[in-house]
Amino acid sequence: MSKIDMDTILEGLEREERTILAKSERPSQEQVEDAVRVLLRWMGEDVTREGLVDTPSRVARAYGEMFGGYDQDPADVLGRTFQEVGGYDDMVLVKDISFHSHCEHHLVPIIGRAHVAYLPDGRVLGLSKIARVVDIYARRLQTQENMTAQIAHVIDEVLKPRGVAVMIEAEHLCMAMRGIRKPSSSTATTCFTGGFRDDPGEQANFIAMVRTGKD
């Protein structure tokens, strides 16, 4: 299991700010479709045959959906918090958040689940907002390590809890479909901030709660 520190989190944030382009800087729909045709021809296909005539436009639309995370700001999604928590200050955990992402090295799917927890400091988030943050980062080209750090950082920055814990478990199809070709292998990464980083007991409690019901 790979643990990610705060330096990695900050590096990931800086990288994210550098790489997200404004819509005005991006290629047009027509340019994207032309690029798909080039790839099809490179594969050895006939782009004029019936089954492929509409493929470039379908791929462009599909990519627009699968990579829609570039047009959303996770900090805005987290937005509103709630203070009426009745004094609750123990761990809040949302686990088994399924996601589909794409490896930035080969543009091949990453399929996995995220487990996200935080220690409230007077405020809590709507639970669905955590799942939406996972989805936004998943809908970008990713490495699993970077995605883990990004989720932890934005929750830590916006909510300012006493600590954040993130674990991602995923299968990388770049390992199953090419190269070493090892299907069903799983990669786990974790990132801890605040109380989770400083207190091994909190880390152990988080991992135990994630594992509950999995055996």
- Token look-up 């199809």 returns 173
- For helices 127-138 and 144-159, angle between their N-to-C axes, nearest 10 degrees: 140
| Spatial CA neighbour of 71 closest among 137, 131, 145 | 137
The CA dihedral of 150, 151, 153, 156, to the nearest 10 degrees, is: 170
If you write DSSP's letter for every residue of 64-96 in order, what string do you get?
HHHTGGGG--HHHHH--EE---TT--S-EEEEE
Q: Which residues contact 10 (CB under 8 A, 6 or more apart)?
A: 153
Q: What distance in Å separates the CA atoms of residue 69 and residue 102, rounded to the nearest whole number?
A: 12
Instruction: Fill in the amino acid letter for 45.
Output: E
The string over 128-142, giving b where at least 16 C-beta atoms fall within 10 Å of a residue's C-beta and e elsewhere, is: ebbbebbbbbbbbbb
Catalytic residue numbers read 103-106, 144, 172, 174
